[in-house]
Amino acid sequence: MRVRWTETAQAHLASIHSYVALDSPAYAIRLVDCLTRRSQQIASYPHSGRRVPEYDMEMIREVIEGSYRIIYLIGADRIDVLAVIHGAQELDSELPNN
């Protein structure tokens, strides 16, 4: 299955990179690489992530990478990564769909 990163999720990655790069540009690159590589697991095993507790919907799932939650929506022909947030952050009540 194909994985598409929404504009919102891409913006989250850019923000994570910018923040971490203030202390360590090299680690920021490695962290973003780890986060984006998880999409390979999601593509191969879409149901391997757990249901997102805030939504408890079968098709909205998340995988954890380090301190980050990668939240995605399983569709008929693709998976949309909706958000990448730090585990300490609260999830917005409305998930992006762009």
Domain assignment present for residue 98? The answer is no
Domain assignment present for residue 91? The answer is no
CA atoms within 13 A on the CB side of 53: 4
Domain assignment present for residue 51? The answer is yes
Q: Can you tell me the distance from the alpha carbon of 54 to that of 63, in angstroms, rounded to the nearest whole number?
A: 14
- Count structural domains, the chain: 1
**pLDDT for the residue numbered 94:** 55
pTM as predicted? 0.88
Domain residue limits at 82: 2-86
Residues 23-81: tens digit of each pLDDT: 999 999 999 999 999 888 899 999 999 999 888 889 999 999 999 999 999 999 999 99
**pLDDT for the residue numbered 97:** 56
